[in-house]
Structure 1
Amino acid sequence: MSGTTASFTPSRRLLVAATLLVVAGAMSGCPSSSGTPSATATPAPASAGASAAGPASAAGGSTVEIGNFAFTPPTLTVSPGTSVTWKFDDSTDHTVTADDNSFTSQPMGAGQTYEHTFATAGTLAYHCSIHPFMKGTIEVK
């Protein structure tokens, strides 16, 4: 019976435990089949005409794509008064949550969008509250 019995060394047990934690963590963001998907969420609109004049951004517009557990682009530069739209296109739900808690979206999935208007100059870091390793920055100049 030698050679067929599975024995786990302490390092192998640690590897198995770490793998299980990663899988469990990834699955925790999966949408529940019992929940109902929410409609596209948009915070209260900015004052009318606040961003009607001028371009939203010199580099690539004012949209952040969410896919493959990442915000793309990771840093977006916009002018004051610009509305930024996050487009959700991933295999699991995510949120857009300002590090200073000035705004947050509901958990949202593929095909949904979230919009927030940045009124004043400054740099604002944000993350996904479900997957905190997902980070992004909006620079308002």
Structure 2
Amino acid sequence: MKNAIRIFALSCLLVCAPTWAQDIQINIKDFMYSPKDLNVAVGTKVTWVNDDQVPHTIVETHKVFHSAALDTLDQFSYTFITAGTFEYFCTLHPQMIGKIIVN
């Protein structure tokens, strides 16, 4: 009986275990965010890296996060601690848009 309880408890832990957050990089190149759309777990740290020869910014539409102007090879990171949909854009080039869905 004790073994059955232990097996049951262990199986509950495995099923109920959270999705582990990870570090993800978004590249900025050719006036685009790549990937443009992304699904991540709560706790994920996202880092944008400017691989273009011109400055870019990352600004969430509700101002949850925003970067300064990033020169070539500059980086900006944000850790998503709440679930939701976060749309963002470059203030210098408003046609540049992206979206991160946090589950």
TM over 0.5, shorter chain: yes
What are the ranges of 5 or more consecutive residues in structure 2 without an aligned counterpart? 1-18
Are 1:71 and 2:71 counterparts?
Answer: no
**SS across alignment from 1:62:** strand
SS across alignment from 2:27: strand
Q: How far is 1:55 from its partner? A: 4.4
Contact 1:89 1:110 in 2 (8 A): yes
Query: Alignment RMSD, CA only?
Result: 1.4
Q: Which structure dedicates a bigger proportion of its chain to strand?
A: 2
Seen in structure 2, the aligned counterparts of structure 1 residues 101 and 133 have a Cα distance that, compared at 3 Å, is: same
**TM-score under structure 1 normalisation?**
0.57
Report percent identity of matched pairs. 35
Judge conservation of contact 2:21–2:43 (CA < 8 Å) in 1.
no
Which 4+ runs in 1 deviate beyond 6 A? none
Q: Residue type matched to 1:118 in 2?
A: F
The CA deviation string for residues 76-124 of structure 1, in whole angstroms up to 9 with x for no partner, is 1110011100011101000000011111100011111100011111111
Per-residue CA deviations over 1:43-85 (Å, capped at 9, x if unaligned) read xxxxxxxxxx8242xxxx6111001000000001110011100
Matched residues, number: 85
Structure 1: unaligned runs, 5 residues or longer: 1-52
Decide which structure has the larger Cα Rg and report it.
Answer: 1
